Structure 1
Amino acid sequence: MVPVNPLLKEEEIEHILSDSQARALLAHRETKIARVGQPVLDLNLELRLDLSLYKFDSLQSADQESSEQDFDSTAALIVYTSGTTGKPKGAVLSYANVAFTIESYPHRFYLKQDDMLLGVLPLCHLYGLLVVLAGALKAGCGIVLMKQFDAAEAILLLRSEAVSVLPAVPTMHQFILMELDKEGKDSRLENLRLCTTGGAAMPRDLLVALKERLRVPVLEGYALTETTVIATLNPEGDARLGSVGTAFPGIEIAIEKDGIRSSRSFAKGESEVGEILLKGACIMKGYFNNAAATAEVIKDGWFYTGDLGYLDADGYLYIVGRSKELIVRGGMNIYPREIEEVLLRLPAIAECAVVGVPDRYMGERVKAFIVLKSGACLTEDEIKSFCKSHVADYKMPRAIEFLDKLPRNSTGKVLKRLLC
């Protein structure tokens, strides 16, 4: 299965359909993709599956161990995640990867059958699909799904449905906190016992404010699509401010700097800052039909995240930055190169550079620096109008600045750090 974000534009969805070699598309009837043509089946209100298509009997055969191994290594999901080359790459996740994630989270959340989760996260994202939805099903607890996030409606549901666990991204937590502030400083969510946050870095001040206001633990974790959205999580009762927690059982963390890999802290109490490496049953099989890209990030069984961080003496991981150019807006990943390629389709643009700049509510927003060709004329509104037709709304450049030239080093590489 290939989950697709419905917020993507037609050409973005077409790339995923083509690259994944999908043979069928299950979509809402309002989805319009010209090259796909008319739907061949209208499912209306229910989907009937022929269970004979699934060979469960093979798992009960005499060669059960071999069959289970084959099943575990079979691709379950191809999840598209943007890359620095611009076009999204399909991370192939096996049934074993998926099972590891679904089995692990309920234990760390201490989910019980009388718990109720609020599903505010998109199910096209692994956090919403595997951690929230599948995790609730695995634990046998209840879940309330929202069609789309709205802070006021979320608070109504948190109260009316007696929600006890709220998994969300920092931006959602921020808006819920703002909505509660409108009710007064004594406003509470009486049934809530736990908040979790992921998908983007949680600002320290927001985490502290959320804990003080809700009076419940707020557990921050760290993961990537390529690690089946599992890696670390702050343990309840022993969370450390500023850290994304310790590794889940079965996952190893290492820090590599200058070619030297270390999976322990140094005598001073913390390791040196370096690239974060992960290893374990969560690591993807690779990028679909892209051996070169796979070889760049998986070496000797270790997944090279491209993120920078360090470990303290007790194995808690701290993220200090990203070596990649990823922009995270409201928990949604945006890679600058993808936006730059769209901008360069405009004939008047000679060159451009896209960066993420701080945003109080969304974490980051997209800013584009534009250099026009000599004698060309192009307005900010014209650029935004063009982008609106080619990229999802959350990827839209919110700010545009025109420059005479981009700052570059001696080799011609754009120095984006001078633009932030």
Structure 2
Amino acid sequence: MTASLSDLFAFHRNDGLAVGAPDRPWLTYGGLRDLASHSVAALHAAGVGRGDRVAIVLPNGPEMATAFVAIAQGAVTAPLNPGYRLEEFEFHLSDLGARAIVLPEGYDGPALTAALRLGLAVLRLGHDAADPAGWFSLRAESVAPGEPDRDTARPRDVALILHTSGTTSRPKIVPLLHRNLAASAHHVATSLALTAHDRGLNMMPLFHIHGLVASVAASLAAGASVWCAPGFDALKFFGWLETARPTWYTAVPTMHQAILARAARNADAIERAPLRFIRSSSASLPAQVMEALATTFGAPVIEAYGMTEAAHQMTSNPLPPRAQKPGSVGLPAGPQVRIADEAGNRLIDGLGEVVISGPNVTPGYEANEAANAASFFEAEGQRWFRTGDQGRFDPEGYLTITGRLKEIINRGGEKISPLEVDGVLMDHPAVQQVVTFALPHPRLGEEVAAAVVLREGMAADEASIRAFCAARLADFKVPRRVLLLEEIPKGATGKLQRIGLAEKLGLVSPA
């Protein structure tokens, strides 16, 4: 399929509901198309056009969702985390080559300081509480020099640029074309059988590919509606269920776990606002959490597997009547998915590195020949992208991820999957959340450690948790350190991060 983002919602009914939010009227598809036209005209008036990069720094909510969709019709979008510090804004704006920035009316924080230092055109986004959700106006506070390219976006134009997480090295720039995003949106919508009768509840950050594609773009591709919360709040979640009446929501595992922790006292809300399904992605969903969600909500839980370079989705567990397998990320759901030799450029059967090929895959990292040479290869007449994940297919074609290759713990030559240890620890009756990680060791190179959050009202100590593991794991896999924490540090999108955790917890000195 060759299409642009605008094609996703070009032909839906004018009066169909598109975007909603707390205490706001609905924005229709007709209104969304009008908004896109107004936004492109405002970009042109500010000297910004096709091919120019526009950083978007807005709080989570409907305006962030519609700004991404509307601005992409006339320029390249670059959503940034509004929580960045000044140095982070300066790095990202400079590295991305931004020409303009979109900021809320009245904002005078570090993003503005960075933009002024770099000489960017500044556009102010304003809206009124009485406006439909997501409706906004753009006002040029300063204008970019020169005449903009006023052509509309084409399928092979870049629509979105994001940085990789850069946990252990300088972040890489990932350009995603309109056709990459459109393909991935259709892949998600198809795998979830979304129709105009569906409504998604978005709580995911909209500077991240999960929320932008799985929640927003996939809903628009299906002519469905998306109700945008102002971010994740487990205390408000059950009220949102009753207000928005969604048929589904998508989230990362830590969000699901926070929801489960409050589900018992909100059983009435769950009963009054039934869901068709629940989706999880962006990190491994513990099998125990998947089963608890399904039981609590009386709905299938669809774990999917995605990453930025794939414009999000690669595989997905299917809807009933097919099985949703705990511990598996499901079946290929859009691109071709294979296993490759971890060192050689060849496709294999069995355990190895997960690789993908398809219309949703980025054409390559920007200005980074070394990364492209390491991440892409040709085999069987196709170009394959190395995901960096280790996995295998079962006889029914379901993919199981055994871990990130760079997160596999190497204890004196013994390779240990942190996900395997996580799974055992999650079976402990007192454990609510866990992340297994590598702890540097002077003789073995690395040792196994785990950070654990206990269930409310339950008790356990390090010795008892280690003994529980010792009865279920080979000795070399048993964590030598178990840290009992009130909360495990998370990344900006709510994901637990293994790499660097030993340093964050003060177990090793910074390099």
The answer to whether TM tops 0.5 is yes
Equivalences for 1:19-30 in 2 at 5 Å?
19-28=95-104, 29-30=107-108
Structure 2 residue aligned with 1:274, among 345, 349, 352?
352
In structure 2, what is the equivalent of residue 166 of structure 1?
Answer: 249
In structure 1, what is the equivalent of residue 114 of structure 2?
Answer: 35
Equivalences for 1:24-63 in 2 at 5 Å?
24-28=100-104, 29-33=107-111, 34-37=113-116, 40-45=122-127, 46-48=136-138, 54-56=150-152
- Give the C-alpha shift of residue 199 in structure 1: 1.0
Counterpart of 1:89, as a letter, is: K
Structure 2 residue aligned with 1:140, among 223, 234, 241?
223
In structure 1, what is the equivalent of residue 78 of structure 2?
Answer: 2
Counterpart of 1:20, as a letter, is: L
Equivalents in 2 of 1:167, 1:315: separation in Å? 24
Kindly tell me: are residues 242 and 180 of structure 1, through their superposed partners in 2, closer, same or farther at Cα, counting changes over 3 Å?
A: same
Equivalents in 2 of 1:283, 1:393: separation in Å? 22
Equivalents in 2 of 1:393, 1:93: separation in Å? 19
1:399 aligns with 2:505: yes
Contact in 1 for aligned 2:102/2:125 (Cα 8 Å): no
For structure 1, the residue ranges without an aligned partner over 5 or more in a row are 60-70, 265-270, 329-334, 337-352, 362-387, 407-413, 415-420
Equivalents in 1 of 2:229, 2:305: separation in Å? 24
- The total of aligned residue pairs comes to 336
Equivalences for 1:34-113 in 2 at 5 Å?
34-37=113-116, 40-45=122-127, 46-48=136-138, 54-56=150-152, 71-83=154-166, 85-113=168-196
Counterpart of 1:156, as a letter, is: G
Kindly tell me: are residues 179 and 80 of structure 1, through their superposed partners in 2, closer, same or farther at Cα, counting changes over 3 Å?
A: same
1:322-357 deviations in Å (ceiling 9; x for gaps): 1124999xxxxxx99xxxxxxxxxxxxxxxx9x995
SS in 2 for 1:107: helix
1:233-289 deviations in Å (ceiling 9; x for gaps): 00112222211011124423223256374465xxxxxx2x21111111121111121
- Give the C-alpha shift of residue 133 in structure 1: 1.0
- Give the C-alpha shift of residue 94 in structure 1: 1.2
In structure 2, what is the equivalent of residue 14 of structure 1?
Answer: 90
Kindly tell me: are residues 317 and 7 of structure 1, through their superposed partners in 2, closer, same or farther at Cα, counting changes over 3 Å?
A: same
Contact in 2 for aligned 1:251/1:281 (Cα 8 Å): no
- Give the C-alpha shift of residue 49 in structure 1: 9.7
SS in 2 for 1:230: strand
Contact in 2 for aligned 1:123/1:129 (Cα 8 Å): yes
Equivalences for 1:10-409 in 2 at 5 Å?
10-28=86-104, 29-33=107-111, 34-37=113-116, 40-45=122-127, 46-48=136-138, 54-56=150-152, 71-83=154-166, 85-183=168-266, 188=271, 190-237=273-320, 238=322, 239-257=324-342, 259=344, 261-262=346-347, 264=349, 271=350, 273-300=351-378, 301-325=383-407, 357-360=450-453, 398-401=504-507
1:167-188 deviations in Å (ceiling 9; x for gaps): 1111111111111123469963
Equivalents in 2 of 1:210, 1:54: separation in Å? 48
1:171-209 deviations in Å (ceiling 9; x for gaps): 111111111123469963532111000011101111111
Equivalents in 2 of 1:11, 1:214: separation in Å? 43
- Give the C-alpha shift of residue 164 in structure 1: 0.9
Counterpart of 2:329, as a letter, is: V
Kindly tell me: are residues 42 and 26 of structure 1, through their superposed partners in 2, closer, same or farther at Cα, counting changes over 3 Å?
A: closer
Equivalents in 2 of 1:114, 1:392: separation in Å? 32
- Give the C-alpha shift of residue 226 in structure 1: 0.8
For structure 2, the residue ranges without an aligned partner over 5 or more in a row are 1-76, 128-135, 141-147, 409-417, 420-436, 439-445, 455-488
Counterpart of 1:218, as a letter, is: V
Kindly tell me: are residues 191 and 400 of structure 1, through their superposed partners in 2, closer, same or farther at Cα, counting changes over 3 Å?
A: same
1:86-112 deviations in Å (ceiling 9; x for gaps): 221111111111111112211111112
Contact in 1 for aligned 2:200/2:249 (Cα 8 Å): yes
Contact in 2 for aligned 1:9/1:392 (Cα 8 Å): no
SS in 2 for 1:309: strand
Contact in 2 for aligned 1:256/1:277 (Cα 8 Å): no
Contact in 2 for aligned 1:159/1:191 (Cα 8 Å): no
In structure 2, what is the equivalent of residue 349 of structure 1?
Answer: none
Kindly tell me: are residues 189 and 209 of structure 1, through their superposed partners in 2, closer, same or farther at Cα, counting changes over 3 Å?
A: farther
Equivalents in 1 of 2:257, 2:225: separation in Å? 24
Kindly tell me: are residues 247 and 122 of structure 1, through their superposed partners in 2, closer, same or farther at Cα, counting changes over 3 Å?
A: same
- Give the C-alpha shift of residue 81 in structure 1: 0.8
Contact in 1 for aligned 2:202/2:250 (Cα 8 Å): yes
Counterpart of 1:15, as a letter, is: F
- Give the C-alpha shift of residue 151 in structure 1: 1.1
Contact in 2 for aligned 1:84/1:324 (Cα 8 Å): no
Equivalents in 2 of 1:191, 1:174: separation in Å? 19
Contact in 2 for aligned 1:116/1:143 (Cα 8 Å): yes
Kindly tell me: are residues 201 and 138 of structure 1, through their superposed partners in 2, closer, same or farther at Cα, counting changes over 3 Å?
A: same
Q: CA RMSD, aligned part only?
A: 3.6
SS in 2 for 1:158: helix
- Give the C-alpha shift of residue 401 in structure 1: 2.5
Counterpart of 1:37, as a letter, is: L
Kindly tell me: are residues 15 and 110 of structure 1, through their superposed partners in 2, closer, same or farther at Cα, counting changes over 3 Å?
A: same
Counterpart of 1:182, as a letter, is: R
